Amino acid sequence: MENIFFNFNFLVPGFYNFYAQLPDDLLRGVWANENNTAHYKFKQERNNYTAQLVWFASSGDLLQNQLLPGFRIIQGLEFMNDRWESGTFLNPETGVSARCQIEMRGLFRLSLKTVEGNISTTKTWKRIK
């Protein structure tokens, strides 16, 4: 029994050290927006991160300016100070570009802050994959 306890104590701190060394990889994957009307895939390209639209809920009507899967919504994010900064977010509802930054809120939630002029908004997205 002591041997099992020793092994568990040895492995768990090792896991936390691994987690602490690779925080920038936590953004990779597929995320749903707060209304679950769109899913975005984050990936790393060179030294920054981008997010592409992979799925969106259709209202049933064919919209003239409908977004296509693969369209980049977020680009230029750089990992600094335990968050991703200096990115650009294209608001799919208004078509306006805004500055953005992302902070993790645990393993399965992120906080997306956008700034359009003097207006700042923060939304919470959840991880799907």
Share of the chain above pLDDT 90, in %: 45
Q: Is the pLDDT of residue 129 over 60?
A: yes
CATH of domain 23-127: 2.40.128.520
Q: Is the pLDDT of residue 16 over 70?
A: no
Domain boundaries, the chain: 23-127
Q: What are the start-end ranges of the E strands in the chain? A: 29-32, 38-45, 48-56, 72-80, 83-90, 97-104, 109-116, 119-127
Residue 125, pLDDT score: 96
CA angle 124, 98, 82 (to 5 degrees): 50
pTM tops 0.85: no
Residues 40-95: pLDDT tens digits? 999 998 889 999 988 887 665 544 455 666 788 899 999 988 899 999 998 877 78
